[in-house]
Chain A
Amino acid sequence: MTRFALAAAAMLLALAPGLALDGEPGMHDPSTVIEADGKFYVYATGNGLPAFASDDGWTWHRTGSLMQAVPGGKPGPDVIARGGNNSWAPDLIRSGDKYFLYYSAPGTQPKSAVGLLVGRTLDPASPDYKWDDGGPVVWSDGVEDSNAIDPGVMRDPTNGTMWLTYGSYFGYIRLVELDPTTGKRLHPEAKPVNIAINSEASVLIFREGWYYLLVTHGSCCAGGNSTYNIRMGRSRKVTGPFVDNMAIDMLQGGGKLFAGSSGRHIGPGHFGLLDLGDGVQKFSCHYESDLDRGGISVLDIRPLLWRDGWPVAGENLTAGTYEIESARTGTALEMAVQGTPVGGRGRGGPGRGGASAAGRGETPPPPIPGQDAAQVGSNWPAGPIDARMAPYMLQAQQKWAITPVDHAGGYPGSPYFKITIAGTDRALAATGDAELTVVPVFSGEPEQLWRIDQLADGSYRLMPKRIPNTTERLALSAIGSSMPTLEKFKPASDRQRWLLRTP
């Protein structure tokens, strides 16, 4: 392959959009993604509430329909009476030893109900797997300014209270408080609180003294013509008022954009928070149209970032060539070989600059091409080489190709990646003593596969899939200005935060 072709291939990889999950992610109106006993579960709109599971959060498969585990196989009679016989757009939460699943049971909208199902496990293979009808929780009579579908449930981390939001276009998004022990309304006689309008797929989240109401604006269900987009407001009180970044109340149509169409995906909607702990947060949504999958609606899981007190929709990492820079030290990860100055020794320097040459009436020197492994790699030792850190000098041993690996599994939102010196097959790997090496050839071993999670501030955490001789999960860490190692992740520290820059 010519150098030009290599460069062109690298550009294509860098521009390639991220794939929205693997396996069978086709679904609409997904619930919050729940992690339980090492697996991930999500439920969606459709006949009997389609159920999906994943061992790793990356590859999903359909496991059946949730209503198969409900006595009678359909919404309870009181739910059907208040709403209808459909089953849409569920959401669920764990409370104590129970799961409460709320689902939309519309009749002829806006006559609808939100029904409750109660279960003790999400694993269909468990002997305890079943869902009991908990009856209707909220409903709309078809006349009032409400359409009781699209439930979203939140536990307030400040006091343990539980809250349900619901509604869709026919009037208001509404809020009621739930009983954490039964999943039903805590004060059924109380009038629901109106908190937003002109939206659907609402859900609340909380962070650092603020309640955030995320809703979906626009239209669904029209493929590539769907204008779905996720918007938000925030409030110091769970009951609102929720206002956007321009102080417009969501009851008056306000809403700061959280996620719109991008890349190859049209119409994101139905936000769900997936908190993986250690400060790593993701969000789930569906796209109305995934162009890479013929325009079907699919689930995606993406990084959740925070900036200036607002959530920001991050992007899953895509293949490309990157400088891997320590947020702690500002030095860059490199293969420990002696670097060669870009352009070779003796090029450039004072007195050789174009401006001064031009000032003397001389022809400025020609551009100096970038450095790649083909230029300098013949000097590198053949065997394993240590990894270290050094000031980034645009040199080949500092440029890493990050590439998703097929059929190697993944984690919520992404497949595992290999991290190789660009233009070579030399791969970053964990060693048996929890240090780092660069092996001569990528072989696909788990210690050569990397999980790369984007953190709330936009930096990244890099973790090998497995470290030989230990079950500990450790992250790439800047132990000093010049030394990377693997250590337990400490969310508050810059040691394990890395910036992926385009070289």
Chain B
Amino acid sequence: MAAEDALTRGPRAWLPALGALALAGGAGLLGAQQPPLPPATRAPAATLSRPSSAAKPPDGAGFLQRWLVLEPIKVPGQLTESAVRAAIGNEYFPNQLAVIPRDGQAVTVGDEPLLWHALDTRNYNVNLYHFAYALNKPTSNVLFWAVTRVEVPHEMRNVRLAIGSNAASIWWLNGQEIIAIYGDRQAVIDDGVSKRVTLRNGLNTIRAAVVNAGGATDFCARFLDADDNPVREISVRLSQEQP
């Protein structure tokens, strides 16, 4: 849903925006003539926390719950294939399709410094709206980069990455693009599924770019085996150091 649409059509989409205005100090809809208030300190995202262990196994349904997420980058928020391709095609920071970031690492996009955050999610999905809102960052017309690494005890052939995202997203495994879904969409489990891929022994890098236009934004991801069962004998390890 486009941003202007979010404010004119969908109450689901603009309710959080009203909440954000209220939390920002009551500038509200009547405060257009008032000077902007300084950003308020917001509570941490309820569904997200900093990792407290070296590795994290997938949850019972195989979902990967530990990610490095970059603070949102402002983009036009169009969700067609060509628009998403154009948004992803910009180089926002060096080596953006290969970098393995560290928690707290900063990149500069335009003239804005953005930080990578290591996150554990309590749910099957990573709520990017919670993430950005808690940081007082925009949630509409934005691009999120997310990276995680899964440690695989032995080579696994014929598995598939299965994701859901709100909204459009493109996904890479070890540098190869394997999923692209476009349009305004909800995060549905196993919405986008890759062709059969091989997870190599050791660390494998999964990278995602999620573009949101308006309203909620989140993603979920897991691997499915050849019988479509969740792959659970892997673990997420964000650090580059071997155990």
Instruction: Verify B181–A338 contact, CB threshold 8 A.
Output: no
Instruction: Verify B190–A433 contact, CB threshold 8 A.
Output: no
Instruction: Verify A481–B190 contact, CB threshold 8 A.
Output: yes
Cβ-defined partner of B196 (8 Å) among A390, A434, A480, A481: A434
For chain B, the bracket of interface size reads 10 to 19
Interface of A with B (CB < 8 Å)? 338, 390, 433-435, 479-483, 485
Cβ-defined partner of B191 (8 Å) among A338, A433, A481: A481
- Would you call B160 an interface residue if the criterion is a C-beta within 8 Å of the partner chain's C-beta atoms? yes
Known: A390-B183, A435-B195. 18 other contacts (CB 8 A): A338-B81, A338-B82, A338-B182, A433-B195, A433-B196, A479-B160, A479-B190, A479-B224, A480-B162, A480-B191, A480-B192, A480-B193, A481-B191, A482-B192, A483-B192, A483-B194, A485-B195, A485-B196
Instruction: Verify A479–B228 contact, CB threshold 8 A.
Output: yes
Residues of A contacting B201 in the complex (Cβ-Cβ under 8 angstroms): none
Q: Nearest Cβ in chain A — how far from B61, in angstroms?
A: 14
Residues of A contacting B195 in the complex (Cβ-Cβ under 8 angstroms): 433, 435, 483, 485
- Bound-state CA distance A405–B191 (Å) is 34
Chain B residues 176-225 with CB under 8 Å of chain A are 181-183, 188, 190-196, 224
Q: What are 11 A-B pairs with beta-carbon distances under 8 A?
A: A338-B80, A390-B183, A435-B195, A435-B196, A479-B190, A479-B224, A480-B192, A482-B192, A482-B193, A483-B192, A483-B193
Q: Nearest Cβ in chain A — how far from B83, in angstroms?
A: 9
Interface of B with A (CB < 8 Å)? 80-82, 160, 162, 181-183, 188, 190-196, 224, 228
Residues of A contacting B182 in the complex (Cβ-Cβ under 8 angstroms): 338
- Bound-state CA distance A435–B193 (Å) is 12
Residues of A contacting B190 in the complex (Cβ-Cβ under 8 angstroms): 479-481
Residues of B contacting A390 in the complex (Cβ-Cβ under 8 angstroms): 183
Residues of B contacting A485 in the complex (Cβ-Cβ under 8 angstroms): 193, 195-196
Instruction: Verify A482–B181 contact, CB threshold 8 A.
Output: yes
Residues of B contacting A482 in the complex (Cβ-Cβ under 8 angstroms): 181, 191-193
Residues of B contacting A481 in the complex (Cβ-Cβ under 8 angstroms): 188, 190-192
Residues of B contacting A433 in the complex (Cβ-Cβ under 8 angstroms): 195-196
- Bound-state CA distance A480–B165 (Å) is 13
Looking across the interface, which residue of chain B has its beta carbon closest to that of A484? B193
Looking across the interface, which residue of chain A has its beta carbon closest to that of B9? A350
Q: Nearest Cβ in chain B — how far from A437, in angstroms?
A: 10
Q: Nearest Cβ in chain B — how far from A160, in angstroms?
A: 33
Of listed A433, A481, A482, A483, residue having the most chain B CB within 10 A: A482
- Bound-state CA distance A390–B196 (Å) is 20
Of listed A338, A390, A434, A485, residue having the most chain B CB within 10 A: A338
Q: Nearest Cβ in chain A — how far from B79, in angstroms?
A: 11
Looking across the interface, which residue of chain B has its beta carbon closest to that of A431? B195
Q: Nearest Cβ in chain A — how far from B222, in angstroms?
A: 11
Residues of A contacting B194 in the complex (Cβ-Cβ under 8 angstroms): 483
Residues of A contacting B191 in the complex (Cβ-Cβ under 8 angstroms): 480-482
- Bound-state CA distance A434–B194 (Å) is 13
Cβ-defined partner of A479 (8 Å) among B183, B188, B193: B193
Q: Nearest Cβ in chain A — how far from B135, in angstroms?
A: 30
Looking across the interface, which residue of chain A has its beta carbon closest to that of B196? A433
Looking across the interface, which residue of chain B has its beta carbon closest to that of A485? B195
Q: Nearest Cβ in chain B — how far from A207, in angstroms?
A: 29
- Bound-state CA distance A433–B188 (Å) is 26
Residues of B contacting A483 in the complex (Cβ-Cβ under 8 angstroms): 192-195
- Bound-state CA distance A247–B190 (Å) is 48
- Bound-state CA distance A364–B195 (Å) is 47
Closest 8 CB pairs of A and B: A480-B193, A483-B193, A338-B81, A480-B190, A481-B191, A479-B193, A482-B192, A435-B195
- Bound-state CA distance A483–B196 (Å) is 11
Looking across the interface, which residue of chain B has its beta carbon closest to that of A338? B81
- Bound-state CA distance A465–B180 (Å) is 29
- Bound-state CA distance A338–B228 (Å) is 28
Q: Nearest Cβ in chain A — how far from B154, in angstroms?
A: 21
Q: Nearest Cβ in chain B — how far from A435, in angstroms?
A: 5
Q: Nearest Cβ in chain B — how far from A6, in angstroms?
A: 27
Q: Nearest Cβ in chain B — how far from A398, in angstroms?
A: 13
Looking across the interface, which residue of chain A has its beta carbon closest to that of B195? A435
Q: Nearest Cβ in chain B — how far from A170, in angstroms?
A: 58
Q: Nearest Cβ in chain A — how far from B219, in angstroms?
A: 14
- Bound-state CA distance A390–B228 (Å) is 21
